[in-house]
Amino acid sequence: MIQVAVMGYGTIGSGVVEVLETNREIIKRKTGQDISVKYILDLREFPGDPHEDLIVHDFSTIEKDPDVGIVVEAMGGVNPAYAFAKACLLAGKQVVTSNKALVAAHGTELLQIARDKNINFFFEASVGGGIPIIRPMVQCLAGEQILEISGILNGTTNFILSKMDREGQTFEEALKKAQELGYAERNPEADVEGYDTCRKITILTSLALEKEVNYEEVYTEGITKITDTDFKYAAKMGTSIKLFGSSRMADGKTSVFVCPMMIDRDHPLYGVSDVFNAVMVRGNMVGTLMFYGSGAGKLPTASAVVADIMEAACHMTDNVPLGWSSEKQQLSDVKEMRFRYFIRFAGSAAEKLADVEAAFGKTEIIELPGMDEFAVLTGEMTELKYHKVAAAFGDIRQMIRA
Ligand code: HSE
């Protein structure tokens, strides 16, 4: 029998308890163990809840109980999740989390403690919710040199951009809908400003490179400046706009960024809509792979947490290496990154195109009827060059990387 404590009885924590109960027999058959929940830590009371008697309010109850072998951290945020997760590992308890903020900020240290203690710190659910991505990256792609990871890693922003794309909604209208449906947080900053995607691409890059990536060094831009007009141009061009978290490894350099990208219909991530997530991984031998599915939500995320609990149950006294060391990974400056640029200019193409091309080089021009503006798609150039030329040119209404 393995006793589990669940910290945080919100959406994910309650989902974990539900999955453990619903799939009890499958879990027992596959692990050879009865896995049962001994405590649920939460500040709140849950009168009438079927697990009311398992609720505790004091973390030390879990920390000090030698019978608890695995602790699920489903509180979210860095504090007190970090202190609690660390204390559990130091007490010899395995920790499983869905918390990307915790993993991105303290993954290196928590993994080291787990190694030192011959136990595990697992976080499959922290990226892509129910999509298997961490374990495939670490195990199935162990022999690959990873060249690129590009993902749509945030369901809320993908829902908003899909609404803008398909229904012509404004950002504000689509955000309101996402909030009504419970996808976006009441304070949606972490989603729409790209911070959530930043944490997730940081975790994937650390695993791919087996080094520590500092999420604070990742260039991060959200979707708040994307407008319905941008999508009108995108429709005419046969493209779409998606929030990407990407890392590209080439010539000994690593570029990691989060920003809206204009992508063609033939891009593998073009068809990923609504709240779905997808991760495209390109390896030097395997080529391009796609991982697709429910990137958030109670049961998909809880399913990934439970898979981690089961893996932990099969490795109670040995560490499964995830290959994420404390060596720091140097990241390229965003100024060195190369993109094509979709740019909207005030005025008419007839008057300005020659000047635009003199500044930005040969472009593709896109015009919409009845607009006092036009757009171009440039060739590839560095961010440094783009910003120099754009500052000198002025009069730019929008820029989206492509
Ligand atoms: N807010 C996140 C999303 C939840 O919308 O994808 C899952 O990490």
Check pLDDT > 90 for residue 241.
Answer: yes
Ligand 1 in reach of 280 Cβ (< 6 A)? no
CA-nearest residue for atom 2, ligand 1, is 154
Indicate whether 159 and 226 sit together in one domain: yes
Residue 107 one-letter amino acid: G
Pairing of strands 381-382, 338-339: antiparallel
DSSP characters for 255-311?
Answer: EEEEEEEEEETTSTTTT--TTEEEEEEEETTTEEEEEEEE-SSHHHHHHHHHHHHHH
Indicate whether 152 and 95 sit together in one domain: no
Check pLDDT > 80 for residue 186.
Answer: no
Indicate whether 386 and 308 sit together in one domain: no
Distance from the alpha carbon of residue 99 to the mean position of ligand 1, in angstroms: 10
What's the average model confidence in pLDDT over 58-75?
98
Q: What is the CATH number of the domain that holds 46?
A: 3.40.50.720
Number of folded domains that form the chain: 3
Last residue of a domain, one of 246, 281, 313: 313
Atom of ligand 1 at shortest range from CA of 277: 6
Model pLDDT for residues 358-386, shown as the tens digit of each residue: 999 999 999 999 999 999 999 999 999 99
What's the average model confidence in pLDDT over 343-354?
96
Q: Is 12 annotated as a binding residue?
A: yes
Residue 325, domain member (yes or no): no
Ligand 1 in reach of 301 Cβ (< 6 A)? no
Indicate whether 256 and 362 sit together in one domain: no
Last residue of a domain, one of 240, 262, 292: 292
What's the average model confidence in pLDDT over 384-399?
95
Atom of ligand 1 at shortest range from CA of 126: 8
Indicate whether 278 and 146 sit together in one domain: yes
* Residues of the domain holding 14: 1-128+296-313
What is the pLDDT confidence band of residue 395, given thresholds at 50, 70 and 90?
A: confident
Residue 326, domain member (yes or no): no
What is the pLDDT confidence band of residue 183, given thresholds at 50, 70 and 90?
A: confident
Check pLDDT > 80 for residue 104.
Answer: yes
Indicate whether 27 and 113 sit together in one domain: yes
Residue 231, domain member (yes or no): yes
Pairing of strands 396-401, 341-346: antiparallel
Indicate whether 169 and 249 sit together in one domain: yes
Q: How far apart are CA 243 and CA 258, in angstroms?
A: 7
E-strand ranges in 146-231 read: 146-152, 219-220
Indicate whether 121 and 106 sit together in one domain: yes
What pLDDT score was predicted for residue 164? 98
What is the pLDDT confidence band of residue 187, given thresholds at 50, 70 and 90?
A: confident
Indicate whether 285 and 138 sit together in one domain: yes
Check pLDDT > 90 for residue 182.
Answer: no
What pLDDT score was predicted for residue 387? 98
Indicate whether 95 and 34 sit together in one domain: yes
What's the average model confidence in pLDDT over 38-45?
98
Ligand 1 in reach of 378 Cβ (< 6 A)? no
Model pLDDT for residues 207-220, shown as the tens digit of each residue: 999 999 999 999 99
Question: Phi, psi (5° rounding) for residue 371?
Answer: -110, 145
What pLDDT score was predicted for residue 206? 98
Indicate whether 5 and 52 sit together in one domain: yes
200 in catalytic set: yes
CB atoms closer than 10 angstroms to residue 294: 18
CA-nearest residue for atom 8, ligand 1, is 296
Distance from the alpha carbon of residue 296 to the mean position of ligand 1, in angstroms: 5
Of the residues 38, 163, 200, 242, which is catalytic? 200
What pLDDT score was predicted for residue 394? 86
Is the pTM higher than 0.85? The answer reads: yes
Q: What is the CATH number of the domain that holds 362?
A: 3.30.70.1150
Q: What is the CATH number of the domain that holds 237?
A: 3.30.360.10
Dihedral (CA of 290, 206, 158, 130) sign: positive
Q: How far apart are CA 268 and CA 132, in angstroms?
A: 18
Atom of ligand 1 at shortest range from CA of 159: 5
Model pLDDT for residues 151-160, shown as the tens digit of each residue: 999 999 999 9
Indicate whether 261 and 306 sit together in one domain: no
What pLDDT score was predicted for residue 217? 98
Residue-averaged pLDDT of the chain = 97
